[in-house]
Amino acid sequence: MQSSLLNAEPLLFPKLSHLRGPQTRRLLRRFAGVYATLFGAAVALLLLAPATWAGFALGLMAPGAGFIAGWAMLASAALFGMALLIWFATGNLLLPPIVWLGAAWLAAENTPSPTQKLTAPTLIILGFAAIWLWQRRALRRAQNHRARLNLHLANCPALPIPAPSADELSPADLARLRLLLDRALQPADQFNGFEHRDPFQTAALRYQVNFVAFALALVQAHYAPACKGYLHQAQDNLLIKIQNPKVWCYWAWENLWGNLRHDPDPIASGNIMYAGFVAAQIALRANACGYPFDATQVQISGGQSFTYSQPQIIETLTRQYETSRLGLLPCEPHWVYPLCNLITAAAIRAHSNRHRTDHWLRISGPLRAGLEAEFIGAKGDLVAFRSSLTGIAAPAVGGALMQGYPCVYLHAIAPDMAQRQWQSLRYALRGRGWRHAIWRLDVGNYGLSRAAGYTGLALAAREIGDEAAAGDLLALLEADCPEVIASGVAHRESASLWALAHEVMARAHRTGGLAALMQPQVVAGPYIEAVDYAETLVAKARNTAGGLEMVLYPRQPGQVQSLAFAGLQPHQAYLLRGDIGGKLIADAQGKASLHLTLTPHSAFTLLTEKASNR
């Protein structure tokens, strides 16, 4: 599918009157009010309480400010910084205030000097004044930057229309795909070959399962929608894996220490990093296959804890969006990530289109408005994450990956915004190469590699239609992390499964590929019902003119292989035309089997006998 916006009028950034959106400003004012109350109480203690309260009062103003010893101040500040990191990484809302108040309590034994009593509050007041003055200047600079950026967008030449993509997987593509299939086709309760780092952040098992599933869905949609067989089984297994308690049990802790709720259900509320991703896994899988598949019957279950069908997950997510003041939902407790929301939104849109529901219409407007107002930075960059409690957003993190990769999913729900954000990234990179713009950190295993950055951005470039960028990124991947093939399976040393799954998606992808997957494949004709993964790899299986075009790669050419077909016209005779000939007659259920001796590259078409004789 070619992007309909490759030559469309560019979307420009709106005029900037504030550094932040209205809801973010409300959160920041509330947070400032809470701190002002705390600061005021601390000043009152300093002025009115006995001198023995001075250390505690200063400790309320800032973590560690009540200590006399410099090392104690530094240690308290360092511990508070670590608590903030843990809050961000695990959603532990309790830890920062515990560390802050604990340090203040310990400092109550100190008797600060008059100079320290004056210095601490003075520095805090001056610090806030400096922030206020800086923001006034930052707004003017951001307004000027946006004006230059909009001028660039208005005059930026359209991306060239990419050449038609190959219609079958190459042997190299199949070698990369085998790594994912080997992991997906193992017993559903096993996770051999998956990486076990931590259950909370980007290397968590759930993301590996999700992205392997996304990769299989995209491959199926683009090359083998008429192949059920091992592609179906692999995705079934991944749906079982995502329900394994070792994948979702993290939420019991996050919900407890982040939301102060004792509820292990990871779908009910506030956890789109599980619920939204699972919904996307089911929705993309359903829309990718060209054979009968009812995604409404798929259920996600946690034993007696929870059971949801796909429509129930979609409805649960939609209701949360309808009550969100920011327009987006939290991933970690009280941390809102646009990327997680874009994946969730794509799931809702794909489901709505397939089943003709109103879920996408109910959220699309507010979601887009919230994204534009609250999560597009003053200089046009995408805010990586924001606290829904305080309104505070971390400074730019993740390098180019966090700016470009979300465009994959944004293109599926708001292609004009995706094009704008991608071109903004290219503008920001002017004069710099991709290697220097991508952090040397593989988000899939925390290793010192740019593999995840290269593959995630290559996928985004392909979705947007920037073939030049995709080619450059994949070339850098090969240069920095060479491919190794062992027993017909391709992998890259030190690259995470996250990165390898995205490489499969990037190489098998095409312009607007995910956007196209928002609509279901059309069921039209016969399909491969069963094929032995240990014997044969399917490089193409697509319906055309009532027939079925196939390209197969046998593991051992010259040996007899078995194929089972379904979706045939009952009692109808079919012929094979191409590298291999043959004949079959469908039974009353429209099914039939064939035993074939395949060549190393077997390309043939299954047609009705009548159509074949035309």
User: What are the sequence ranges of the domains in the chain?
Assistant: 22-137, 159-516, 527-612
Please, what is the Cα angle at 74 between 70 and 75, to 5 degrees?
115
CATH domain 527-612 topology: Immunoglobulin-like (2.60.40)
If you average pLDDT over residues 210-214, what whole number do you get?
Answer: 98
Which of 286, 390, 377 has its CA nearest to residue 330? 390
Write a three-state SS string for 578-598.
ECCCEEEECCCCCCEEEEEEC
Read off the pLDDT of residues 126-143 as tens digits, 9 standing for 90 and up: 999 998 888 888 999 999
What sign has the CA pseudo-torsion 278, 284, 288, 292? Answer: positive
The residue type of 167 is D
Q: What does the DSSP 8-state code read for residue 382?
A: B
Read off the pLDDT of residues 546-575 as tens digits, 9 standing for 90 and up: 799 999 999 999 888 899 999 999 999 999
Q: Residue 158 — very low, low, confident or very high, per pLDDT cuts 50/70/90?
A: confident
The per-residue pLDDT for 5 is 45
Residue linked to tokens 């999913």: 409
Q: Residue 26: count other Cβ atoms within 10 Å of its Cβ.
A: 14
Distance CA 397, CA 387 (A): 15
pLDDT surpasses 60 at 219:
yes
The per-residue pLDDT for 8 is 59
The model carries a pTM of 0.94
The residue type of 512 is G
pLDDT surpasses 60 at 4:
no
Whether the domain at 159-516 and the domain at 527-612 fall into the same CATH topology: no
Pairing of strands 573-578, 582-585: antiparallel
Q: Residue 2 — very low, low, confident or very high, per pLDDT cuts 50/70/90?
A: very low
Q: Is 227 helix (H, G, I), strand (E, B) or coil?
A: strand
The per-residue pLDDT for 159 is 84
Per cent of the chain over pLDDT 70 is 98
CB–CB of 282/298 below 8 Å?
yes
Read off the pLDDT of residues 455-486 as tens digits, 9 standing for 90 and up: 999 999 999 999 999 999 999 999 999 999 99
Read off the pLDDT of residues 499-529 as tens digits, 9 standing for 90 and up: 999 999 999 999 999 999 999 987 778 999 9
Query: Phi/psi at 424 (nearest 5 deg)?
Result: -65, -40
CB–CB of 393/385 below 8 Å?
yes
Per cent of the chain over pLDDT 90 is 79
Q: Residue 52 — very low, low, confident or very high, per pLDDT cuts 50/70/90?
A: confident
Distance CA 517, CA 524 (A): 17
Does domain 159-516 fall under CATH 1.50.10.20? My reply is: yes
Which of 255, 251, 230, 231 has its CA nearest to residue 242? 251
